[in-house]
Structure 1
């Protein structure tokens, strides 16, 4: 006679639902009073808002409103000797505070948007009394936001629950017994004995439940305990589980809400640690900890206690979880420097893991940055999101452009919000690609973005799954212990070379262009500020502003978070960050000018050979003078306009020339133009009637630069009907495009510059371009101003190039990476948009062309066409992205030889960091030149940063090899130097034979970063 398996399974589902209904018995309503404000207020000011009294189903606010709620009541006498909980759901997020103003538990509305296969987002239960006497008073305060986890307005902001309830603990435990066994059974095939035994055990327990009371629940649990206590065998795989609460520092909510999400999450973690002694939790991002320290010091003290005892793992190593495609090289170093510094100073922890679960691709420069920062391990999940190609490993060695390798692991379940349910464990086991060479993998469980991380469902499941027959064993432990264990088998893991390219979210290289421009400008502005601050410090004319610089850096690092800089946050995030960027840039530039003036006025040294435009009269009276400053590490010769005077300035590396200008250089310039062409002594540019480029002829090398079968610099508009801030379809390239139409054109000559001014129109938008050729320069600059008012469209320009090659050189942090420019494989095809920093270059051995830019990152290079993404006007999640006025420059740079011979890297730096002109008062005249701070005798070595050391008055100089060659370089300092030593990126002394102290000679491997710590003083 057959068994009725399907009927039994249906009965078990009904069984679980009935048990769940019996867990909480509501016995009374809470009284609800609230004080509503538009922005958060401190606990001490909690009654300053608009007062309202509320009942169930009353609406208390609109989206992003805040309120302090006061819930009061009395435990009924009938609840004596029962466990009492409070059930609260405000259709938003909230946090319960104790009487001292310390967060003690977060709450999340049940109707929050979330992937329910990963867990239930609602956290609504407050454990109040374990053994009530009846008559106890309830008086609690909660800080609430009228938004769900992902910033949505739910249930019209209504009060859904505010009850006193009895917790039936036996029913509560029975529910999770059923859930775990039922789901384990569903993961096993019906023909296995384990599946059948669980099925009949669950059905037997179901039959024991008639009245669904406590005694029956005990009997049912005894029946199920047989199957729950069946241990797993000698499994070949073990899962290390750690609680996680991925918190985006901004995304679908503003930064101010993130701070409160942190308090809600961290207080919930601490609360659950009291109830679950095996619970291990980890959290990254010192920025988040820093907010807790500043805003919630009592909560922060509790966190420190848990970290000290090993229950809470400080993770990450970077200040935030930043975008690593767009952030500059020195910025990534500072992410690690300030991140590790915080964890060491606050918790005495030396961070060994880079924790970046959700970043949109990973630069090939990262392995070296990490290894030279003392970070040995890397964890991410995001590559599981690839759309076309499945990444071949979960545990592997990741090798960067310089040869540095780091041990990497991706949790095979493919999520950082694991449910920790049997299905999750089975998924990890099935997916783990490297289980043949490794018997360990990682699981990150919990609900992020303010959802409190792991809830009781995660922890109750894990309590039953430690060694449950039918599943591989699961152990809660810090991720560092996991990495140390798998490191022992490091020789068995395969190596992946180069970038970890995410086949998704390529739109983030362009979206929110203003933020990306400010980020680029701030990175260079901070470089300049640190450099001049070091000089002023050595000269003794100004104290190095270390605290101010660190504060500016940390805010810039915050805005490099992987949902801010990439452009994938809501509009308010960008409105607020742009305002702060403007302030920070102004502050940085003021500090820079102040230090330069202090230096120049302290020792006025006029260079008589600086130009042909000097005052012939020398006076002891105060006179206005000008300094032209070059903070780059090579000599520069460029045309400079000072108050209408054109001067060809020859400025040594990392130095300046000072002059007193009186008259314009009157020599004739080798430039000329008409409406259809412009030329200097090196190049001749011809234009089509529609304003596009027809030809660029290199007069020096007698060759055409462009592929003249196509037009160049056509300002093309692409439709993006299905695009969002993250993504656009490659199909848009195959849809007929429209372009801006030329309205006006004129040619202008200004000294050594010839300018073709063009005005274009498209729909509601206008572009004004000045196409500039400068005498003696091989750069064609496209100074561009766009007044953009389009929706769901993308603006691009492209240049078909007369070179033949099968790869493109792309500028990344501390070097270059070569990518294919064809679609031979699915891996090549998937890179239909790629991130590059200051340039991309197509070169044959004898000749090449680079496309430079001063703030753009999204590129497409296929065959011989270089295409640059200029703007993207998406409406999700940030409405009206990129609408408004933008100013930027891109440049076409033809050159002899490949990109190394053509010194493309230098030209890209020069575009981004023009010679700086400082006006200062000169009350004494001294002829002569000042020595450069540092000179490097190798053109392939770039000085990337000069700063004061973190813990001493020593000077840090960071250099890198830019060509991919093994190089030697001698250094010459303009100051007295002592104790020159090699240090790592954390400024710690290292043993390395790359430095010859006697000769000040450095030996570089290809793309290697070397950092020096130097004691400097005036000669």
Structure 2
């Protein structure tokens, strides 16, 4: 018995809670009906028993929205119990997977969770995130940015590392959290307590003995709940009776804050300090093959996040600085549809098929709103540009750049002229009249829809030309204007000088030469650095007998390596050239019934790669189309680097993560160490002098094959089960064994990735900035003559500093101020400056929650110094008026 173990008082907090997976093995609506029952019963308990003091709603606030949408009449009652501290909500909107969503998505999740919880009277300031599949190393800094100095979690760290129930987690920037490592039972070590006191005592005693075996404080956490379980009315009675039996331990129905406060008060000195990210499967399942489950979901998520973060919010902010209304509610509506897809069972792709079908609608709605906000913002800005020089056969083309640094980028656009303008060719001219090389990719007739708030939509027939050209020095967070002149006389066509070249089996620009080989791979020659990479873009397919959580190769696997022999050159011109390589992958149709090997029967799966080079752009782009007709397999694309190093660098959250290539011995682990890992946009192998970076759009899983340090990017992982218990690398199930045929991902897929060979390390080669540029498609507006005050070229916001990045440009949540979030992804202190194209009244250093820390000096910009991996939120009070940034200034 534990009664007489100690003479000092312990407190054991029984914390009634539920863990609410909003959708998983049932749909959201099915689970919501259970949520309504839970909430109604909880309210009955709280109404009828004043001694039932606490219930924790899983750290989320979305459950309130889901419940009150059905029972809006209970809003004030919920507010009463939350304000009184009997129901605990927040700090999150939803409990997210940390790796598969962007850094800004995590910040917005907390921002929205705090907003909603505050409206109900109280925010639970506990970093409660019990069940995600691992934890990012920037979580300490993110939580501290919201005034949260603690975290309670379960997975990803070895019990030998934490060395107790409580320890100190040190984030990648040095920020520390008081961390609680839940026991091996997880967030349910006091679940389903029997009403019989004797039986309850035995269960609680066992849980306490387990906690005392790792004692670091006199505070003991007993979590009374698990997935989707309701509050137990018997808890106050059991607490009273258990206190009669535990003479030296006070049993208390309580909440997570009480537990944390007492743990801090009684904690032992010199707690263990554990740095970095938590991805170990030694003691708990970590389930990191979810990075490649249902890859179409990851791609859709990346599109929405990129559209919101890189286009909708920055352009809405630019338009707001010109006196347009900031569409805050619309943007939050888009964010909410997106965030609803970020719980781990959703974004990880490990639920039933119906759940993931419904997710795609949410992605569509989020993206549609973000795109329309972007379009309207660009319209508003473009209407303010002075255009008074066009002839009848000319139009102005405004090229926008939402990134905080100037860029050189290829632009693809359909220019449209009225039907009366005959269009065989065009000229592209700068505002100074200099002609720019362009490439005609097609022409014809089309309809343009004219929208008006007072008339029905009107179709207007137009003649069009599809063109591409390279724009140099597009201003940071700004635009550049060009003139497009229609030409009917073919004799006026001009041959342009260009660095683009092509032959029967190669394409090249001034940076690279890409040569197709007879086996379908390509050799890449870096002309600047005189380096050669062979066997690039090789496709490798193996069997997968796993489930949505875990890759598990069959016992007798059969590996298929691509042999593609159809090679052609397309779209060669002054702006770009395309090398196309295609063929068939002959794949086994699936697994044999015993799941130990792949089927003998094979099926043709067509695969085609379009490889593009652009004039003046230092990047090789790949678009791969794959028609999947096979089941139970994994498709990867490989790039052999032959660069000797022990480490790989992967874009993470407000940082670039350095990981060892060689894995630890994981024999006997709960889940063996993964060869694959996560990236948010690029993977880089370098030896300090030279490197190779692979960029991608929504392909978060990579593997480094030690043989020649080959980078393998997962394109597709196809399985038919939500969970299985017979896997090679994992012990036991991670969920119910439901069939999920749509997780086989049959049908056509498009994958987008790019290659950048470079000198030096990734930071000095600006790979982080180049990745953001690659992900952010350039948008344009077409104009005729109009009145306006803005010049033909303008920069709203500019970031100076070699290695700094900006993750957010948005209006302040609560005030008429501009928020710019900047971070240092490197492991070295670096400095920079943020400059605005508007006069500044005051500048403040803020926190992630957009509260203020201190005022900053502003002199032709705000100087900033960031420690390694540090995040800073800068808040600007801007002087401006109407559409002229430098005159008639007022404080917004």
Q: Identify the TM-score tier after normalising by the shorter chain.
A: 0.7 to 0.9
Determine which of 303, 314, 328 is the counterpart of 1:531. 314
Measured in 2, the distance between the counterparts of 1:377 and 1:657 equals 47
Task: Please report how far the alpha carbon of residue 962 of structure 1 lies from its aligned counterpart in structure 2 after TM superposition.
Answer: 2.5
Determine which of 668, 673, 680 is the counterpart of 1:830. 673
SS at match of 1:493: coil
Partner in structure 1 of residue 542 of structure 2: 718
Measured in 2, the distance between the counterparts of 1:927 and 1:654 equals 14
Map of 1:355-754 to 2, 5 A cutoff? 355-383=128-156, 392-417=163-188, 418-419=190-191, 420=193, 421-422=200-201, 424-432=203-211, 435-449=214-228, 451-454=229-232, 456=234, 461-466=238-243, 468-469=245-246, 473-488=250-265, 489=267, 492-503=270-281, 504-527=286-309, 528-540=311-323, 542-604=324-386, 618-619=389-390, 624-643=395-414, 644=440, 645-650=467-472, 651-662=474-485, 666-674=495-503, 676-693=505-522, 695-706=523-534, 711-721=535-545, 723-729=546-552, 735-742=557-564, 744-751=566-573, 752-754=575-577
Question: Per-residue displacement from partner, 1:401-434 (whole Å, max 9, x unpaired)?
Answer: 2111111112325222332444543444444488
Determine which of 82, 89, 94 is the counterpart of 1:307. 82
Gaps of 5+ in 2: 194-199, 415-439, 441-466, 488-492, 586-602, 723-739, 887-892
Partner in structure 1 of residue 870 of structure 2: 1008
Question: Per-residue displacement from partner, 1:420-452 (whole Å, max 9, x unpaired)?
Answer: 444543444444488453222312112432x32
Task: Please report how far the alpha carbon of residue 470 of structure 1 lies from its aligned counterpart in structure 2 after TM superposition.
Answer: 9.1
Question: Per-residue displacement from partner, 1:974-1013 (whole Å, max 9, x unpaired)?
Answer: 0122121111111111138x76678621121112111122
Measured in 1, the distance between the counterparts of 2:819 and 2:869 equals 19
SS at match of 2:834: strand
2:593 corresponds to 1:770:
no
Query: Residues 737, 953 of structure 1: CA spacing in aligned structure 2 closer, same or farther, 3 A cutoff?
Result: same
Question: Per-residue displacement from partner, 1:326-353 (whole Å, max 9, x unpaired)?
Answer: 1101111101111111111222x24421
Question: Per-residue displacement from partner, 1:903-962 (whole Å, max 9, x unpaired)?
Answer: 111111111112222233443598954431122221212222111111121111111112
**C-alpha contact (below 8 Å) 1:597/1:920 kept by paired residues:** no
Task: Please report how far the alpha carbon of residue 620 of structure 1 lies from its aligned counterpart in structure 2 after TM superposition.
Answer: 7.3
Measured in 2, the distance between the counterparts of 1:665 and 1:408 equals 67
Query: Residues 341, 927 of structure 1: CA spacing in aligned structure 2 closer, same or farther, 3 A cutoff?
Result: closer
SS at match of 2:127: strand
- TM-score under structure 2 normalisation? 0.81
**C-alpha contact (below 8 Å) 1:232/1:473 kept by paired residues:** no
Partner in structure 2 of residue 967 of structure 1: 830
Q: Which has the higher contact order (CA 8 A, sep 6+)?
A: 2
Partner in structure 1 of residue 812 of structure 2: 949
Determine which of 700, 709, 712 is the counterpart of 1:867. 712
Question: Per-residue displacement from partner, 1:578-629 (whole Å, max 9, x unpaired)?
Answer: 12322331232122112111211222369xxxxxxxxxxx337796321111
Measured in 1, the distance between the counterparts of 2:18 and 2:748 equals 38
- TM-score under structure 1 normalisation? 0.71
Query: Residues 934, 448 of structure 1: CA spacing in aligned structure 2 closer, same or farther, 3 A cutoff?
Result: same
SS at match of 1:466: helix
**C-alpha contact (below 8 Å) 2:836/2:861 kept by paired residues:** no
Measured in 1, the distance between the counterparts of 2:141 and 2:700 equals 22
Measured in 2, the distance between the counterparts of 1:797 and 1:303 equals 52
Query: Residues 749, 931 of structure 1: CA spacing in aligned structure 2 closer, same or farther, 3 A cutoff?
Result: closer
**C-alpha contact (below 8 Å) 1:292/1:300 kept by paired residues:** no
Measured in 1, the distance between the counterparts of 2:106 and 2:150 equals 16
Determine which of 751, 759, 762 is the counterpart of 2:582. 759
**C-alpha contact (below 8 Å) 1:801/1:866 kept by paired residues:** yes
Question: Per-residue displacement from partner, 1:627-653 (whole Å, max 9, x unpaired)?
Answer: 111111111112323343443212011
SS at match of 1:525: helix
Measured in 1, the distance between the counterparts of 2:680 and 2:276 equals 16
Higher mean alpha-carbon deviation, 674-683 vs 893-902, is at: 674-683
SS at match of 1:409: strand
SS at match of 1:704: strand
Task: Please report how far the alpha carbon of residue 275 of structure 1 lies from its aligned counterpart in structure 2 after TM superposition.
Answer: 4.6
Task: Please report how far the alpha carbon of residue 972 of structure 1 lies from its aligned counterpart in structure 2 after TM superposition.
Answer: 1.8
SS at match of 2:19: coil
Measured in 2, the distance between the counterparts of 1:255 and 1:303 equals 21
Measured in 2, the distance between the counterparts of 1:272 and 1:231 equals 35
**C-alpha contact (below 8 Å) 2:387/2:786 kept by paired residues:** no
Higher Cα radius of gyration? 1
Task: Please report how far the alpha carbon of residue 699 of structure 1 lies from its aligned counterpart in structure 2 after TM superposition.
Answer: 1.8
Measured in 2, the distance between the counterparts of 1:245 and 1:1007 equals 35
Measured in 2, the distance between the counterparts of 1:452 and 1:802 equals 56
SS at match of 1:298: helix
Partner in structure 2 of residue 920 of structure 1: 783
Task: Please report how far the alpha carbon of residue 748 of structure 1 lies from its aligned counterpart in structure 2 after TM superposition.
Answer: 1.8
Aligned residues: 766
Partner in structure 1 of residue 106 of structure 2: 332
Gaps of 5+ in 1: 1-187, 189-193, 195-229, 607-617
**C-alpha contact (below 8 Å) 2:335/2:366 kept by paired residues:** no
Partner in structure 2 of residue 936 of structure 1: 799
Query: Residues 975, 718 of structure 1: CA spacing in aligned structure 2 closer, same or farther, 3 A cutoff?
Result: same
**C-alpha contact (below 8 Å) 1:849/1:895 kept by paired residues:** yes
Determine which of 736, 748, 762 is the counterpart of 1:885. 748
**C-alpha contact (below 8 Å) 2:686/2:762 kept by paired residues:** yes
Question: Per-residue displacement from partner, 1:544-581 (whole Å, max 9, x unpaired)?
Answer: 11111111111111111111111111111121221232
Question: Per-residue displacement from partner, 1:512-532 (whole Å, max 9, x unpaired)?
Answer: 222211211111111211111
**C-alpha contact (below 8 Å) 1:631/1:654 kept by paired residues:** yes
Task: Please report how far the alpha carbon of residue 235 of structure 1 lies from its aligned counterpart in structure 2 after TM superposition.
Answer: 5.9
Map of 1:88-487 to 2, 5 A cutoff? 234=7, 237-273=10-46, 274-275=48-49, 277-283=51-57, 284-314=59-89, 316-347=90-121, 349-383=122-156, 392-417=163-188, 418-419=190-191, 420=193, 421-422=200-201, 424-432=203-211, 435-449=214-228, 451-454=229-232, 456=234, 461-466=238-243, 468-469=245-246, 473-487=250-264
Question: Per-residue displacement from partner, 1:195-232 (whole Å, max 9, x unpaired)?
Answer: xxxxxxxxxxxxxxxxxxxxxxxxxxxxxxxxxxx999
Higher mean alpha-carbon deviation, 271-280 vs 580-589, is at: 271-280
Question: Per-residue displacement from partner, 1:702-745 (whole Å, max 9, x unpaired)?
Answer: 12234xxxx33222222112x1111123x569833123442632
Measured in 2, the distance between the counterparts of 1:790 and 1:605 equals 56
Calculate the aligned-residue CA RMSD, in Å. 2.9
Query: Residues 400, 960 of structure 1: CA spacing in aligned structure 2 closer, same or farther, 3 A cutoff?
Result: same
Task: Please report how far the alpha carbon of residue 777 of structure 1 lies from its aligned counterpart in structure 2 after TM superposition.
Answer: 3.5
**C-alpha contact (below 8 Å) 1:778/1:894 kept by paired residues:** no
Task: Please report how far the alpha carbon of residue 461 of structure 1 lies from its aligned counterpart in structure 2 after TM superposition.
Answer: 4.5
SS at match of 2:378: helix
Measured in 1, the distance between the counterparts of 2:30 and 2:747 equals 27
